[in-house]
Amino acid sequence: MTQSKKIAVAGGIGSGKSTVLNILKKHGCAVFSCDEIYAELCADAEFLYGLSVLFPEVVKAGRLDRALLSSMIFSDPQARAKLNDYTHPLIM
């Protein structure tokens, strides 16, 4: 009997998580990427509306200003927690 294993790949920005996931994919492993799900969410109008309620200045003409949102959440732990509280349940 073959045993299924689960591996979590974690790390900061630019640490190589995507590279590791691509290697695993090439070897036939199933991959669940929170980054890919978040990218899909960012193209969803309903998600962006909810985000604009929390952070009105980051959604302009129906598009997310990622640079502005990043600067906000990386400089303010409370803003980061607010974003995480909104996005994490949707991603999972």
pLDDT in tens, 25-62: 999 998 888 888 999 999 999 999 999 999 999 999 98
User: Whole-angstrom Cα distance, residue 11 to residue 70?
Assistant: 17
Q: What is the pLDDT of residue 72?
A: 94
Q: Which of 45, 80, 38, 88 is nearest to 63 (CA)?
A: 45
Q: Is the pLDDT of residue 1 over 70?
A: no
So where are the chain's domains?
A: 32-91
H or E stretch at 79: helix 77-91
pTM above 0.95, yes or no: no
